Structure 1
């Protein structure tokens, strides 16, 4: 008997498996037009186009408002877009991006903060340079092995997020991402560089190679602090940058003299052969707070001896001459050189010339008029005369020293007095010297 299933209100479902798609409607322009016209969609499209057009039309005028009204846009020799005004010609873009660290800042725009490494930054000159860079708003990395540097010289920057200190010897490679490299690492006083002459040569040669290699890899600008010692015992007076020097290549001072000469050679070869941006400064005698107390240099020797009531030791007849610049003047010169467009070398020193006896007399007047002078035999290869010709720095960097010996020496004496007698509550003189730049 066959049973039949019935569906109330429905027909029995079909057992057919055939599929029939919806028939395609013929394309017509009426449908998209109808879509655009419905709900005012076309009006909103035109409003959006108008807003975007106004933005791009008004944008150049916004930037132009920050520039001198007499400025005009011109391409320079490197195909950079620059603002040219009666007072300045400032590079803004290079290959579609901001100019590298050596460029000046476009008018109306805030200067970009740089990432700067200072080798030997815990030393005498290096720590004062670090102070200026930090005050300028840069991020500073100090690299120092503390052979002659002191942590106390940079202690006041600890805790600042823009400051880093790395204990490292530049003889070993170092990888960092930086915009500028100030390469100061090397013992600079006879007592220190004669202590281990082979190490001094390695620092000057291998250390400079490592820092130049870093500059090449990351595209940083590199500044070498060379020395007036490259002139040796000069036969030219005063010494210009064109003078090749009179150096004993096998003497007791040659580890430093010839080491720095080789460092200059390496620097120029990287510049010519690898297109590294470099700067070379030849530093003459410098004095100021934070010098090592017993480093064998004449100013620190005289000041420390006078404070300790010891005789001032003059080597030879005391008629050999030197030129003495205050540390703030040197730091200003180094920064101008780094930010400028000239490779160098540049003499950075004070052309005021003093004999050793005249210097001893100034120290006596400043500290102790009753101090005695004691003569000793002169040291080997000691230069008889030393005086920089700074015409090149004046003309191309707009730099010349401002602080006289009689103004700068008392600040150094104050720092030495605190350290000689054990009163180092502050660790260092904090920026007292900077006011002399404006005098």
Structure 2
């Protein structure tokens, strides 16, 4: 069975789930560091140097990790034992609701300055045996409302080892330290969660260790250990999730893979929310009929129990879906869908089920010009983690966004473009409703 099916299908989907969980489908947010990614994560995983490009559309200089930039392109072929890349992204925008509030809307202009540094060893293109680190600090500065200024630091680490032709090992670490962020912009909960000004400090840490073992030409095993930590400033509450999974898969053909798996974890949550244990039983399907189209689905049921029998077992369907279609080299269409359970950061002893759909359409309409449309919908439904005589009311919200953009590749190492971002949230409680319009320009240079 082809390596792309056995070694990449599940890790690719796991990568997507990490980005979604951390709010890294970044164009929906004014204050998330990765504001404009060159490609969606399903294209990135296993896709070589573009995994680390911060550009809004593919830069020719990023076809290789090292070289091709404004300065590095003068040095010729890289003969050093390591790879490197330096980018600078600048963004300027106007937003008519920078706090994403229902009332007392504030508008302002802001700029974002985002340098990016990549350092790696090994083969970053084939990603067999390699180690790469990317650091993306990001600085937001507002014109009239300096109280919204935010400094953010994001580190991505990705490594791999292929000791035999049957065994592939992978590790990843994602760290984000964000200061003074707007909660409604960076959290799936889309509200201030009881903070005095709707802003907080947030740190997220996600670790993944995985192995993929080809037992036979048609059967392979995938297993992963993971740790997620989310740390909010008071009065919000923090949480941790430690877990692992095991999947057995069979390739019926080169195009079709089916499998079954189980996931289990321990979810530690600050008071008053009780600690929880989670179990998922899932089915896995990967269908890749040709090099133009692929779809990967993991779907099943999650069962969640609560410490000290705070309430009865909660169960709900869960899924992670990614799909990509590229009929030719100029058109890319991709979509992701997810349904998962998360802990609320509010001190209300509640969790929530997050169901989301996100899509991307990018067309290279002629040589220097890319047109991209991002869009998505997210439904959040809360439930109580404690059975109380007088339970708290449970909120539901629906959030959607869409973002058309146009980017022009002026040279191999320079891209410039503009975008419009519309965000809107409606809930069962009117106070969480908001709408926002943002207009901006952005540019990325590879040095």
TM-score normalised to structure 2 length: 0.27
Compare the two structures and name the one with the higher strand fraction.
2
Q: Which has the larger radius of gyration?
A: 1
Compare the two structures and name the one with the higher helix fraction.
1
